[in-house]
Amino acid sequence: MANSIERFSTSERVLHWVVTASFFTLLLSGLGLYSRLFTGYFNLFGGGGNASLVHKVAGVIFFFSSLAMFLLHLRDVASFDRDDREWFAKGGGYLSRGENHFNIGKYNPGQKLFALFVGIATLVLGITGIFIWSPLSFSRWVVQLSLLLHGTMFVGAVMFVVVHVYLATIGNPGTIGAMLYGFVGRRWAKVHHPKWYREVTDDNP
């Protein structure tokens, strides 16, 4: 495919969709556990007991797959260079009407922050989840603090994921192909990630 560039390998994409499937399973099975307002969602799983069981199984899958995805991305998302700082200074171009051309690598700084947040949220949700799983085995304050952190991280994660899904689909046409088929168009790469484009091709104008 002369006009396409590989962005994600098959294993990277499978990992991303395992994280996504377990994330949405956790969301649906966890809503009723989070608040009485949402206990209607238990019906999707045939009752509260089943929803709780599904939540625990999906939690283990999410924890390990998301942690693996985070560690695989870590080298690409953990550092911010001068070009990234310029992106921050100009609000990623989202705050102005004119065209902005940022010299962005594989991920833009917004994507880096999202990936770092997901990594931290995974650890917090997983560790607090252990205390909530077996509440009688730990002191009361540990379980209560865990419930507070688990709920707060859950709300934060949902908000970030809503923005992520929008930007990866309708917000930036051409992006979803990267996660579905592994490839993006050359034009997309030049426009959104020019530094990465130059790194992975011999196109060095």
Neighbours of 89 (CB within 10 A): 8
Assess 189 for contact with ligand HEM (CB under 6 A).
no
Q: Which of 25, 29, 65, 111 binds ligand HEM (CB under 6 A)?
A: 111
Question: Which residue in 19, 104, 132, 189 binds ligand HEM (CB under 6 A)?
Answer: 19
Q: C-beta of 137: minimal distance to ligand HEM in Å?
A: 28
| Contact (Cβ atoms closer than 8 angstroms) between residue 80 and residue 109 | yes
Q: How far apart are CA 150 and CA 132, in angstroms?
A: 9
Report the distance separating Cα 70 and Cα 64, nearest Å: 10
Chain Cα centroid distance, residue 44 = 24
H-run or E-run covering 185:
strand 183-185
User: Which string of x and - marks every residue 150-169 that binds ligand HEM (by CB under 6 A)?
Assistant: -----------x--xx--xx
In the list 178, 188, 189, 197, the residue contacting ligand HEM (rule: CB under 6 A) is 178
Is residue 114 a contact point for ligand HEM (CB under 6 A)?
yes
Q: Does 118 bind ligand HEM (CB under 6 A)?
A: yes
User: How far is Cα of residue 11 from the mean position of the Cα atoms in its chain?
Assistant: 16
Residues making contact with ligand HEM (CB under 6 A):
7, 16, 19-20, 23, 73, 107, 111, 114-115, 118, 161, 164-165, 168-169, 175-176, 178-179
